[in-house]
Amino acid sequence: MRFIPFSALLLGSWLALPVAAEEGRVLLQRLADAERTQSFQGTFVYERNGSFSTHSIWHSVDEGGILRERLLQLDGAAQEVLRINGQVQCASGTLADQLIDSQLWPARVLNAEQLSEWYELRVLGKSRVAGRATRVLALVPRDQHRYGIELHLDKQTGLPLKSLLVNDKGQLLERFQFTQLQTDTPTASDLEAGARCRPVRLPVAQSEAIEAWRSEWLPPGFRLSSVTERRSPASNESVACQVYDDGLARFSVYMEPLRGAVVEDVRTQLGPTVAVSRRLKTDDGDVMVTVVGEIPLGTAERVALSMRSAIEVTQ
């Protein structure tokens, strides 16, 4: 299905909006329920910045509600991730280095009512993905601080068979699409990680990190969801990390002491992921503030400029 620019959606019939919005909330809630209760296995393709990769996924929910998920990349460098109840247990390949001491790829809990405050929910019609009938749901951002999403939800299960992430100009930033899906429960051997899957240690929230930094501005709807502290692999300095989300989109803010190091400000984007770094002067010395996440570049820059130490805020 060709993507319909969000600008065209916003010019649609306002008379149909209340019905469409209610139907959209029902579809989104069904998606949230399906991800928590439906076992499945399949193959999907992922596209970002013109680069494609193919993956197998096994997703199992047992009678006790325990969710086990294994992800295996089928082309390029061998990469694998295993997580239980949303917590990453082990990873291999370059993913292992990215996930060690981090909270990358945390579980999400969708809330249709909450998301409808920040996204207009529009039902676009029907489509077909991986040989299965779907309903198409667009989440149109109500402001310029988040991206739009088009979801193709399996008619039978409510699972997302395809998602397109787009900017305010309708340009595709990221594609996720199943090519094959089975709704039977994966076997124990399917969910067993390979020998190269390295254990991942997630950091514990630090009260000092919580108190040390504040943001003077956040995009509407974004709230602080976690705070951790880790050691920088480059300098061994303690780096505070704050994670913010609106129930769907997410970004992280890192604060690393520079100790006299000479570094340049950074402003870059790869597909939907932006990274903005700027030097911040504090009474204890310069700190590099870095914002990383799937939000527009201008929003990330404004967040980076808004970070202040708690001492500055109280003065």
- 117 contacts 221 by C-beta, under 8 angstroms: yes
Q: Residue 82: which of 198, 203, 185, 187 has the closest Cα?
A: 198
Q: Residue 4: which pLDDT band, with cuts at 50, 70 and 90?
A: very low
pLDDT at residue 106, rounded to an integer: 47
Neighbours of 60 (CB within 10 A): 20
pTM of this structure: 0.84
Q: Which amino acid, 285? A: G
d(C-alpha 57, C-alpha 54), whole Å:
10
In degrees rounded to 5, what are phi and psi of residue 173?
A: -105, -30
Q: Which of 21-30, 32-41, 104-113 has the lowest mean pLDDT?
A: 104-113
Q: Which of 14-28, 115-129, 249-263 has the lowest mean pLDDT?
A: 14-28
- 124 contacts 148 by C-beta, under 8 angstroms: no
In degrees rounded to 5, what are phi and psi of residue 279?
A: -80, 135
pLDDT at residue 189, rounded to an integer: 95
Q: Mind listing the pLDDT tens digit for each residue in 264-314? A: 888 999 889 999 999 988 877 889 999 999 999 999 999 999 998 865 544
d(C-alpha 15, C-alpha 164), whole Å:
26
Q: What are the structure tokens assigned to 242, written together?
A: 């704050």
d(C-alpha 99, C-alpha 301), whole Å:
25
Q: Which domains does the chain have, with CATH numbers?
A: 6-198 (2.50.20.10), 203-314 (3.30.200.100)
**Any idea what DSSP says for residue 147?**
-
Q: Mind listing the pLDDT tens digit for each residue in 114-143? A: 898 999 999 999 999 999 999 999 999 999
